[in-house]
Amino acid sequence: MTLTQLRYLIAIADSGLNITLAAERVHATQPGLSKQLKQLEDELGFKLFTRKGKSLDAVTAAGAEVLERARIIHAESANIRALAANLRNEAHGELRIATTHTQARYALPLPIAALHSRYPDVGVHLQPGGDAEILQLLERGQADLAVTSSVGAAPASGFTLPAYRWRRVVLVPEDHALAKLDRPLTLADLAAYPLVSYESSLQPESSLRRAFEAQGLPLRLAFTARDADLIRTYVQAGLGVGVLAEMAVTGDDEGLRVLPIEDLLPVCTTWIVLRRNRVLRDYALEFIVQFAPHIDRRDVRRAFDHGVETAPWPEAPHWRDVVALRSAG
């Protein structure tokens, strides 16, 4: 059993049991992986995968056990390397961020640009996905950190830092009836129209859905997407009333009106999620303080390294104030 064999094993599992694809990903040849896999199976004395013909078909129960431990070993050896790289003040590497499209498009560009100017040799890889996918990427070690949002409490998995809070806004065409109201909007006003919003609104636990249900109002979704730009486009096209993150309205929306809705929907918090037991490269820490400037660098290190559960983070600022702070500083 070698570290290489375990790395290959993980690559095969993460490539959907396609050895050829796995070989590309680890920059090796396919026969090499085949052989190492065979050797590992021979040494352990049982098959890690079931075969259908010659192709791999599924992970065996024993294989899953081994895989679980192989991931730990792989993560820890990556930790040792990260530790070493930090100690040598290495300024190059990769930062893999799993996040939602909205964060990637509106909240991350500036912090990442700042990171890039300080660490020009660090490659940043954004891995967009839904909430579950994001956390899974982090869990499986395919992302270094996750940036995700929720209403209320932090996601259960990992070590979370509050980055900022934000509200949703309503977006309508300029000539829409709702734009002409001379009173604050109510949920009932919205319920009169089909809505255009995020894909996550389809889920039964979505906060939009729950807010409507709490008032006994029907929720009609005319269109959903992960992408705020698409939502905007389809609002322009007249499909319905848009409900989206305030970060996604930049003020230059031709022919659209932004209607604040304040307390109609609960406030959201965007979190940075890290995995305990994974060594943070210095530039990852740099990204964190760029993204959540109200958080002190040393507090993060301390809380993260010592496994403090109840890190007394200062209240996360509102998005507006983050933007104001940036344009001021």
Partner DNA sequence: CGCGTTTACGTCGTTCGTAACGATA
Partner DNA sequence: TATCGTTACGAACGACGTAAACGCG
Which of 39, 55, 76, 296 touches its own copies (CB under 8 A)?
76
32 binds, among DNA, its own copies, none (CB under 5 to 8 A by kind): DNA
**Which does residue 329 touch among DNA, its own copies, none (CB within 5 to 8 A, set by kind)?**
none
Contacting its own copies (CB under 8 A), which of 20, 31, 72, 109? Answer: 72
Q: Does 325 bind its own copies (CB under 8 A)?
A: no
Pick 9 or 195: Cβ nearer its own copies: 9
Residue 66 interacts with its own copies (CB under 8 A)? yes
User: Site map for its own copies, 33-52, x if CB under 8 A?
Assistant: ----------xxxx------
SS (H, E, C) the chain: CCHHHHHHHHHHHHCCCCHHHHHHHCCCCHHHHHHHHHHHHHHHCCCCEEEECCEEEEECHHHHHHHHHHHHHHHHHHHHHHHHHHHCCCCCEEEEEEECHHHHHHHCHHHHHHHHHHCCCEEEEEEECCHHHHHHHHHCCCCCEEEEEEECCCCCCCEEEEEEEECEEEEEECCCHHHHCCCCCCHHHHHCCCEEEEHHHHCCCCHHHHHHHHCCCCCCEEEEECCHHHHHHHHHCCCCEEEEEHHHCCCCCCCEEEEECHHHCCCEEEEEEECCCCCCCHHHHHHHHHHCCCCCHHHHHHHHHHCCCCCCCCCCCEHHHHHHHHHHC
17/110 with CB nearer DNA: 17
Q: Which residue among 10, 13, 19, 245 contacts DNA (CB under 7 A)?
A: 19
CB contact at 8 A, 226 and 135: no
| Residue 74 beta carbon to DNA: minimum distance, rounded to whole angstroms | 15
Confirm or reject binding of residue 324 to its own copies (CB under 8 A): no
- The rounded distance, in Å, linking the Cα atoms of 324 and 155 is 27
Q: How far is the CB of 283 from its own copies (least distance, A)?
A: 17
Stretch binding DNA (CB under 7 A), from 21-29, 117-125, 150-158, 243-251: 21-29
- Contact track, DNA, 22-51, x by CB under 7 A: -----xxxxxx-xxxxxx-----------x
Q: Which of 31, 51, 57, 65 binds its own copies (CB under 8 A)?
A: 65
By CB under 7 A, tell whether 183 contacts DNA: no
Q: Which residues bind DNA (CB under 7 A)?
A: 2, 4, 17-20, 27-32, 34-39, 51-56
Q: Which residues bind its own copies (CB under 8 A)?
A: 1-3, 43-46, 62, 65-66, 69-70, 72-73, 76-77, 79-81, 83-84, 87-88
